[in-house]
Amino acid sequence: MRSWTFAKGHGTLNDFVLLVDRHGLLDPDEDDVRWLCDRRAGIGGDGLLRAVKAEHVPSWEGDGSLWFMDYRNADGSVAEMCGNGIRVFARHLLDSGLADGPEVQVATRSGLRTVAAQPDGRLRVSMGPVRTTPDAVQVSAPVAGERRSWPATAVDVGNPHAVVLLGAPATPDVLDALDLSAAPSWVPADHFPSGVNVEFVTVLGERHLRMRVHERGSGETLSCGTGTVAVAAAHAARVGAGSGTWRVDVRGGTVEVELADGEAWMTGPAELVAHGEVVLPDRRTAA
C-alpha cells in the first residue's frame, strides 16, 4: 500500500494535485498520474505538480538546491511548463515554509522561472522569452455542428501553442459555440509533432482578450497560464504592439500578461483548497 501526502490547489480554476517529494523517492508513473487526476476515482485535477529538489533531476544542469516543478498532464504525459501550475506550486512552497519569499526561484523543464508574491495576494511569474510565427498552421474545430478552419499563430512559451485570433464581429458567439470536447486538428500535422495547446481568442477591447483552450493531455480546461501569454503575444504581433499589459479572461477568471523586449510576465491568483493523505492503488505487475 502506498500512502502519499498531497495538497490540492488551483489558479483561475485550472486545478492540480501537488506532491512534495524532496528526495525524488515517489516516482509516480503514468498510471499514478492518471489515477490521481481522475475526478471520480482519484482526487481530480488538470495535472500533477511534483516538488522535487533539482539535484535529483538528471536533466537539470543548474542549481541543485532549487525546487524543480515536475509537471505532468492529466493523461500522465510530461509537459515542459505550466503557467497556472507554477503559481500554485510557489504558493504551496511559501505557505508550507519550504521556500522564503517574496520571490521564489523554480526550476522547470523550460528553464529557471521566478515567482514573486504580490501585496494583493496574486503571484507574478517571469515566463521567459516568447516567440511567435503568424499563420504557421491551419486549425480546425467544430462550431455548432459544422467543422470550420482558421489560420493560427504558432507561439513558443517554453511549450507549444497554436493561437486562433477569431477577430470581429460576433466572435463571442463563435467562441461559445466551439466544441472542444475533442482536440482540434491542425495542418501541417508535423509542425507540432508532440502535440500542441490550442487557444481560440476574441477581442473585447484594447488589450482585453477572452479565450478558450484545449490543452494537450488534459482536454478543455477552464484556464491555461502559458496559453494566456501565448494569446497576448499573438495579439500583440497582429496589431504591432511590442510591449504593454494585456488582460486575458478565461473561463476560470482573469490574469494579466506583460510583454516587453520579447519577454513575458504573468500575474494571477493561486489558491490551496485541500491537504490530506491519499492511498494509491497497487501498481500492476507484468505477467
Binding-site positions for substrate? 14, 73, 83-84, 159, 197, 215-216, 225-226
Q: Which of 175, 243, 160, 260 is nearest to 209 (CA)?
A: 175
Q: Is the dihedral of CA 213, 214, 219, 224 positive or negative?
A: negative
Tell me phi and psi for residue 237, to 5 degrees.
Answer: -65, -35
| Residues in a beta bridge with 48 | 17, 72
User: Does residue 37 carry a catalytic annotation?
Assistant: no
Q: Which is catalytic among the residues 48, 57, 166, 224?
A: 224
Q: Which residues are annotated as a binding site?
A: 14, 73, 83-84, 159, 197, 215-216, 225-226
Cell of 14: 485550472
Taking residue 285's Cβ as centre, other Cβ atoms within 10 Å add up to 5
Looking up cell 504525459, which residue turns up?
A: 77
Is the Cβ–Cβ distance between 207 and 246 less than 8 Å? yes
User: What is the distance between the alpha carbons of residues 49 and 213, in angstroms, rounded to a whole number?
Assistant: 20
Active site residue 224: yes
DSSP three-state, residue 246: strand
Q: Do 146 and 182 meet the contact criterion of CB atoms below 8 Å apart? A: no
89: which strand partners? Answer: none
Choosing from 49, 57, 82, 270, the catalytic residue is 82
Which residues are identified as catalytic? Answer: 82, 224
